[in-house]
Structure formats: structure tokens, C-alpha cells
Structure 1
Amino acid sequence: MLVIHGVTRSRASRIIWLCHELDLPFRQVPVIQGYRTADPDALSTRSPEFLALSPAGAIPVIEDDGLVLSESMAATLHLARKHGGPVAPATPAEDAQMLQWSFYAATAIEDDALTIQMLTRPEATDEDREIIDEAIERLERPLKVLDAHLSANGHLVGGRFTVADLNMAEVIRYGWNDARLRDAWPAITEWLAGCQARPGFLRMWEARLAEPV
């Protein structure tokens, strides 16, 4: 059975969501980020047994029939290819496009989207708000590309929901708590709502909300 190491309040959410889309059973080992716990006995990214599996000390990690992968998008792309179905690439061209959009999410969008998520809080300072404004400004170029593509195609690849949409949606989610982004990019907002209405996402999100903050 597939083993997912990592709490759902982490990038493990991407893998868990995909497993629900694939009806793929898995066992979850709730490794928590080391910075989130002061309990020396808690299973965390600083625990020796986890570091033996993942020397980088970062979640998620999967074990799949002897294969160990420690990057969430590598895991989702691998599992989609392995198990097939509509979320997986149907052709080599689709495979390449799914890689392209997943890498675009990770390299052009994720850092700034995470900045917005982390600094959007009631106690945000003027400096925090300035950093958020700068992140929104940097996101204009990649989000313009994404919005135009979704306006024309509805989904990222093949006119259907795929692992590429899942990977991108989990990145976009970080920044979409800012109304300026939701209002500026309506096609992305509509597409994200559709992704997050899927039963697979809702099952993952229910489990995520049930975990301690």
C-alpha cells in the first residue's frame, strides 16, 4: 500500500487529494513540521526515523512499492502516470504539458503565493503589507498567462481536470485569500472554485481541517 509521510496541513494535501481522485488507498504517517512542535517525542521532520527516510527533513515523502519520493509534485505526477484514468496524461504531448504547468506553478507562482498566505493576518504590519503588494505585482505576469489559458480552454491540459490542474490549484490556493487577486483574474477564480468543488478535494479538506492548527 502507498504510504504518505506528512500531516495533511502540508504539501501532502496534494497527494492525498490525488489519491481520492484515483480511489487509491493509502496509509498516512502524520509527520509534522519540526517548527510546529516543541514536543521532543512527537514524530516530526526532525525525528531521526524520518530523517533516515528523507535526509532533507521535509514533508511530504511517499513510499510506493520500494520507490521513495520526497517532492510533492513528483509524487502526484508519478501516481497519475502509474494509475492512469482521466487525471493522467493520455499521450506523450499531454505528459509534457502536465509537466510544464506543474513546473510553472512551482517556479513562477508558488513563492509569491505563499508569501501572501503567510503575511495576510490580523497583526500584519505596514512592512508585511508592502511585501504582499510586491508579491501581487510579481504575480501579474504568470497569472496573466494562466488566466488567458483558462479563459480559452477551461482546464490546463486536454479540456478536462487532470493532475496538472490539481498541482496548480494547490499552489494558487495559497494566494487566493487576497480579494485583489480574486477580482483581477476571474477565469482563475472560477476554475479554482470548480477544482475545489470536486469530491476528492472536499474529502482532503475535511481531513485537513480536522488536524490541529
Structure 2
Amino acid sequence: MLTIYGVYRSRASRNFWLLAELGMEFEHVPVIQAYRLPDPTAEDAPFHTQSPGFLSISPAGAVPVLRDGDFVLSESLAMNLYIARKAGGPLAPADERENALMEQWALYGATSIEAHALAVLYAHAEGRAKTPEGEAEIAAEVARLRRPLGVVNSHLREHGNMVGSRFTVADINMAEILRYAQAEPGLIAGYPAIEAWLAACQARPGFKAMWDKRLAEPA
């Protein structure tokens, strides 16, 4: 059985969403980010990313991490691709070309979109969006997002989904990256194909099951 180390309020959300879609049983070991704790060194601190027991699994001290027997894998996008291939079925790549395309889009999302979308999300979450500095930061990040969002929008307008013209793990990976950009009002609405596709993705029972558990966790 797979073991996932992490919490729902982390990039593990994309792994938990996929597992919900697959109906796959797994073991969940909650590991909270150390920066979210007032004192990670306290004796009563929960298991966290700087706990020695977790660092023995993940020297990088970051969640999520997957364990499958004696195989350990980090990086949530790679974890999702591994889980999908292991499970097989329509969410997995049908052949090597689809596998390559799923890897391509995961890398594109990670390198061209995620950091800028997260910066927008943090500006809103930390209450800086209505300050002059925050507005300037968001404007700069949104400008950097225009080109990659246009690329994804054009692709979805033509194909409907990220790979294979059907819902797959590639959609989960990209949807969870683009979710961060939804923090900026009106941004996603400027890309109609993304907006419609993202709404369909987030209407799925698998997403809703993940999201309910995410909301149930302490912020």
C-alpha cells in the first residue's frame, strides 16, 4: 500500500485528489510544515518537516513524500505521474507519447506558471494585495503569467483536456497549479477555455472530497 507523508494544506492536495479519483487505498502520515508551527522544537510539537524521523525520509525537509515499499519519491507532480502509471486506467498515459506529454505539461506548469501563481496567492493570503507594494507585486506576476496562461488556454480550446482529449492525471497536475492563480479576481476569467475547464475539474467528486478534507484541517 502507498504511504503519503504530508497534509492536505500543501502540494499533497494534488496527490490526495488523484487518489480520490482512483478510489485507491493508501496510508496517510500527517506531516505539517515546520514554518507553520510557533515552535517546531517544542516537545509537544506535532510531526513536522524538520522532525528527525521525517528528515530520514526526506532530506529536503519538504512535503509531500510517497513511499511504496522500499521506494521513496518526492515532488508532488512526479508522485502523481507515478501513482497514475501504477494504477493504470483512463487517468494514466495510454502509451509512451501520452506519458511524455504528461511529463511535458507537468514541467511547463512547474517552471512557467507555479511560482508566479503562488506569489499572487501569497500576496492575497498575507493581506498585502491592497497595499501599493502588494498591488505592484501582483501586477508584475500577472504580467509574467500572461504568456503561459495563453499557451494553456489555446491548448485547452483545441483539445478540451491537457492530454488525450480526456480527463487524466495531467489535468489534476495543471489544475492544482492554476488554482493558485484563482486568488486574483478576474484573472482566470480572461482565459475562457481555462475557466471552463477548471470549473469542470473542480466540480468533480474527487476534487470535492479532497477539498472538504483540506478545509477540515487547521489553517
- Give the shorter-chain TM-score range: over 0.9
1:102 maps to which residue? 106
Single out whichever of 9-18 and 115-124 deviates more from structure 2.
115-124
Query: What is the aligned counterpart of 2:81 among 59, 77, 83?
Result: 77
Partner of 1:183: 189
Contact 2:181/2:188 (<8 A) preserved? no
Distance 2:186 2:9 in 1: 25
Count, aligned residues: 213
Once the two structures are TM-superposed, the CA of residue 123 in structure 1 deviates from its matched residue by 4.5
The within-5 A match list for 1:1-213 is: 1-39=1-39, 40=42, 41-121=45-125, 122-124=127-129, 125-213=131-219
The alpha carbon displacement at 1:4 in A equals: 0.6
Once residues 129 and 85 of structure 1 are traced to their aligned partners in structure 2, the CA distance between those partners, rounded to angstroms, is 44
TM-score, reference length from structure 1: 0.97
Output the CA distance in 2 between the equivalents of 1:165 and 1:196.
11
Amino acid at match of 2:121: Q
Counterpart Cα distance in 1 of 2:57 and 2:87 = 24
**TM-score after normalising by structure 2:** 0.94
Q: Deviations over 1:130-174 (max 9, x none)?
A: 011000001111111100110111101111001111000000000
State the SS of the aligned residue for 1:54. Answer: coil
Judge conservation of contact 2:128–2:134 (CA < 8 Å) in 1: no
For residues 104 and 123 of structure 1, do their structure 2 counterparts lie closer, same or farther at Cα, with a shift above 3 Å needed?
Answer: closer
Q: What are the Cα deviations for residues 180-205 of structure 1, in whole angstroms up to 9, with x where unaligned?
A: 31221111011001011111111100
Q: Partners in 2 of 1:90 and 1:131 — Cα distance? A: 41
Give the AA of the match of 1:157: V
Aligned-residue sequence identity (percent) comes to 53
| Stretches of 4+ aligned residues off by more than 4 angstroms | none
- Distance in 2 of aligned mates of 1:12 and 1:97: 22
Q: SS of the counterpart of 1:63? A: strand
C-alpha distance in structure 2 between counterparts of 1:203 and 1:19, whole Å? 10
Gaps of 5+ in 1: none
Give me the whole-angstrom Cα distance separating, in 2, the residues matched to 1:179 and 1:42.
Answer: 35
5+ residue gaps, structure 2: none
The whole-number CA distance in structure 2 between the counterparts of 1:24 and 1:110 is 27
